[in-house]
Structure 1
Amino acid sequence: MKAVGIYTLANDAVFDQLVALLNSIEVNVSPDIPVCVIPYNDKIDKVKREIQSRKNVTLFENRESIQRWDKFADEVWAVHPEAKQGNLSRNGWYLSPLLRKLCAFDGEFEKFVFYDADSLAMKPLDNLLDKLNNYDFIFDDWEHKKSRENAALDITVIENSGLYKEENIRPKLHCSSFFGSKKGIFAPSELAAFKKLLIEENEIEWVRKWWDDAFLFNYMTLRCDRPLFNCTLSPNGQERTGNCANADPFVNINNVLYNQEGLKPIYRLHYMSYSSRDFARLCQGEDVNIRYRNEFLHYRFLKEPEKRPKQLKSPNIFTKSNRVLQKVANKIQAGIS
C-alpha cells in the first residue's frame, strides 16, 4: 500500500492529453509521485506503451472494482426519469463509463488526487493532501455558484424530501474533474445502500442529469454526510482561483499558470468543453482554437520537442466540408439508434 498517489482515467482517444498531464505532473507536482491510470475502456494499446516507458506510472487492473462501478452505474441510471423517455438514445455519451474514475476509492493509495485526463497539473499537492487529515473529500471548483436550474442536484426535490435545505446542499456541490480523497470510502456495502435509496426510494430524482458521473458523485458525497472542503469556499483567499481553460484568465510564468488577479497559483488547468479530436489535430499541426494551446503543446512534447509542430496550419476547405458532413451523419445515426 502506498501513502499518496494520483489517478486519472484514460484510453487511446485521449492519448495526447494523457501524455501532457503526465509530463505536467512530473514537472509541477513531483517526479516521484506514483500515478495510476484507470482504463476508460479496452482501447488502451498506446496508453500501455506509454505507461511502460515511465517508472512511476501503472495501470489500474482491479477488474472486480471496475465491474462493480460499471454495474452500479448501469443499474442506477436505468431508473432515472430521462432513461424512460423514448426520444433519448442510450448510445455514445449515455453509455460512457466515466464513473470508473471512482475506482480510485478501491486503489492502492491511502490518500489520492484524481485529475481528468484533459488537465495540466500546475503546482504541488502537499497542502491539499494535508487537508485530507481533516476532510474526506477535497474539491476545487465553482459548481456551488450555479443556478438551481443548472445545479448538479435538484435542490427543490431534495428540499421537498425534508432531509436537506439549500444552505446545506449548495456548499457541497462540486464537479468530478479534480478531487482528493481516501482509499476505502464507498465500499461495496455503501454502494448497495446507495442503490437501495436511489432505486427503491426513488432518490434518483435528486440527480438532475442522466448518465453524468459528476451529478451522481454529487448525490453520493451529499448523502454519505462526510466532511468536504472546496478550495473555492476557503477563508484563505489564496486558495480561491479559477481552473477552466475556456473561461478563466491566467498568467503564464515559465509555463506555469497563475490566476490573473493576484497571481495566485492554481492546482490545475482543465480543458473543459474541448474534444479529444481537437487535441489530436492540434498535435498534428492544425490551427485549432484552443485557449492556452501553447501551454498544452509545451507539456505534450516536453520529452519529444522534435515532434512538436513547427507551425500550425488551418485545414483546407475539403477537410472542413468532410467534417461537417460527418457530423450530420453522426447525428442522423444517433437519432435512429
Structure 2
Amino acid sequence: MDGIYTLANDVVCNQLVALLNSIEVHAGREMPVAVIAYDNRLTNVQAAIAPRPQVMLLDDPALFAPWEAFSRQVWQRHPTAIATWRKKGIADVYRLTSNRRYAAFDGRAPFDRFLYLDADTLLLNSPQIFFAALDSHSLVTYDFQHKDPSHIFDVTASKLPEVFSPAEIHRAIFCAGCFAGRRGAFSAEQRDWLLQHLAAGEAEILYPNAPNQSVLNYMAMRLAQRESASFSIHNLALHLPPEQATGNSVTSSHFVEQAGRVYDRGHPLTYLHYIGLPADLFNQLCSGRNVDFPYRETFLHYRYLYEPEKQPESRGKRVLAKPGVVKRILKKLRLAFG
C-alpha cells in the first residue's frame, strides 16, 4: 500500500491542516496519510484528523525506540556534537524526535511505499511522479539541495572527500523535508554496518545543526555505495527535462501564485516547502494578525479550504512579523531551490 507520512504536533497544527487539505486535493481523499507524533502535544492534531478516516496517528513509542536509539549511537560517535549541545543546555540529541521520520522505513510501518512531507509543506500536484520513480529506485527526492551541501554535511571536514566524491554529493544529497522510499530499508544489520564506519571516523562529516537531515543523507548515500545493485537514489530535479523541473522552496522569489497553485516559469510546482519559517508566523496569521511571508495566500487557501468562514479577517496593515526576521532566515538558509 502506498501512503504519505508527515511529522507533527499541536505547534504546527495549522500547517498540518493545510497540508492534509492539499493532499486531499492533489492526491485524492482515498490517499492514506500517517501523522508521526513529534511529541505528546497532540490534542489539536487528534481533533484535526478525527473527521478524516484516511488519516492515522502514529504515536507508538515502540516503533520509534530503535530509531531514536540509533540516532543516539550515531551522534555519540561524532567528535564534538554532544559536548556542543550540552553547552547549549540540550540534554539529548538535538531535535531527537525529528528523527522519528526514519520509522517510515521500519518493517512495522503501515505503508509499503511512501512519500514523506514535512508539515511545513503543501502538496500542489499529483504525487505519482514519486511513486512511479520508486518502481526503479529505492529512494526518490526532488530538490536542489546539491547547490548547498553545507546544510547536509560539514564541508570543512577533511574526511568528507574520502567518504563521498563531489559527483556523489551532487547527484544524491537531498532535503529531508520531502523524500519517497520503501518500507524495510535500513535493516538492523545495515544500521550496525553504518555505525561501524561512523565509529571509524566518518562521523566527523555529519552536520550537527540539522541532525536528522545529515544522518538520513549519510545512511542513504553510504548504503547506495555498498549495495549499488539494489539501492539507488534518484533526484527528479536532475533527471526531469530542464524545462519541466520546478523549484519547490519558499526561498525562491519568482514563483507565481494562482488559485491554490504555484507556478515556476509557467509550470506548476509539485510541492512547496516553507523551509525555515517558524510555526509562529503561521499561527499568528491564523489568529488574525496580518503578518507577511512568501506565498502566504497559498497557505491560507489550503488552511481554510473546507472552512472559509473560519478564516479570520486580518487585523491592521500587512506587516512583516518581527521586522526583518523572514528576510534574515531566507538569507541564512542560502538555498537555491529553483
- Give the TM-score normalised by the residue count of structure 2: 0.85
Output the amino acid matched with 2:237. Answer: T
1:27-106 alignment to 2 at 5 Å? Answer: 27-80=25-78, 81-85=80-84, 87-90=87-90, 94-106=94-106
Task: State how far apart, in whole Å, the 2-side matches of 1:122 and 1:13 are.
Answer: 23
How far does residue 174 in structure 1 lie from its aligned partner after superposition? 0.8
How far does residue 212 in structure 1 lie from its aligned partner after superposition? 1.9
Cα pair 1:153 1:219 within 8 Å, conserved:
no
Cα pair 1:283 1:308 within 8 Å, conserved:
yes
Which whole-Å deviations, capped at 9, do the CAs of 1:24-43 have from their partners, x for residues lacking one? 11012212100000000111
Output the amino acid matched with 1:174. Answer: F
> Which residue number in structure 1 is paired with residue 153 of structure 2?
152
Task: State how far apart, in whole Å, the 2-side matches of 1:77 and 1:298 are.
Answer: 40
How far does residue 92 in structure 1 lie from its aligned partner after superposition? 9.4
Task: State how far apart, in whole Å, the 2-side matches of 1:114 and 1:312 are.
Answer: 35
Task: State how far apart, in whole Å, the 2-side matches of 1:6 and 1:178 are.
Answer: 10
Cα pair 2:71 2:96 within 8 Å, conserved:
no
> Which residue number in structure 2 is paired with residue 313 of structure 1?
316
Q: Is 6-15 or 44-53 further displaced after alignment?
A: 44-53
Are residues 1:258 and 2:257 paired? no
How far does residue 138 in structure 1 lie from its aligned partner after superposition? 0.7
Cα pair 2:292 2:318 within 8 Å, conserved:
no
SS at 2:291 equivalent: coil
Output the amino acid matched with 1:264. Answer: H
> Which residue number in structure 1 is paired with residue 177 of structure 2?
177
Which whole-Å deviations, capped at 9, do the CAs of 1:6-65 have from their partners, x for residues lacking one? 000000010000000000110122121000000001111111122221111001144322
SS at 1:247 equivalent: coil
Q: In the superposition, relative to structure 1, how do residues 283 and 78 fare at CA in structure 2: closer, same or farther (>3 Å)?
A: same
> Which residue number in structure 2 is paired with residue 333 of structure 1?
none
SS at 1:295 equivalent: helix
Which whole-Å deviations, capped at 9, do the CAs of 1:124-179 have from their partners, x for residues lacking one? 112220110111111111111126x5553547634553x54222232111110001
> Which residue number in structure 2 is paired with residue 140 of structure 1?
142
Output the amino acid matched with 2:112. Answer: E
Task: State how far apart, in whole Å, the 1-side matches of 2:55 and 2:214 are.
Answer: 29
Cα pair 1:144 1:151 within 8 Å, conserved:
no
> Which residue number in structure 2 is paired with residue 277 of structure 1?
280
> Which residue number in structure 1 is paired with residue 203 of structure 2?
204
Q: Which runs of 5+ in 2 are unaligned?
A: 225-230, 326-338
Task: State how far apart, in whole Å, the 1-side matches of 2:156 and 2:60 are.
Answer: 36
Cα pair 2:152 2:206 within 8 Å, conserved:
no
Task: State how far apart, in whole Å, the 2-side matches of 1:150 and 1:4 are.
Answer: 30
Which whole-Å deviations, capped at 9, do the CAs of 1:282-335 have from their partners, x for residues lacking one? 00111112111111111111121111012343699xx97xxx9xxxxxxxxxxx
Q: In the superposition, relative to structure 1, how do residues 96 and 281 fare at CA in structure 2: closer, same or farther (>3 Å)?
A: farther
Task: State how far apart, in whole Å, the 1-side matches of 2:173 and 2:273 are.
Answer: 18
Task: State how far apart, in whole Å, the 2-side matches of 1:181 and 1:282 are.
Answer: 34
How far does residue 94 in structure 1 lie from its aligned partner after superposition? 2.0
Task: State how far apart, in whole Å, the 1-side matches of 2:100 and 2:111 are.
Answer: 16
User: Aligned Cα RMSD in Å?
Assistant: 2.6
How far does residue 97 in structure 1 lie from its aligned partner after superposition? 1.4
SS at 1:313 equivalent: strand
Q: Which runs of 5+ in 1 are unaligned?
A: 325-337
1:100-139 alignment to 2 at 5 Å? Answer: 100-106=100-106, 107-139=109-141
> Which residue number in structure 2 is paired with residue 15 of structure 1?
13
Aligned-pair identity in percent equals: 30
- Give the TM-score normalised by the residue count of structure 1: 0.85
Output the amino acid matched with 1:43. Answer: R
1:166-245 alignment to 2 at 5 Å? Answer: 166-198=166-198, 200-210=199-209, 212-225=211-224, 226-245=231-250
How far does residue 201 in structure 1 lie from its aligned partner after superposition? 1.2
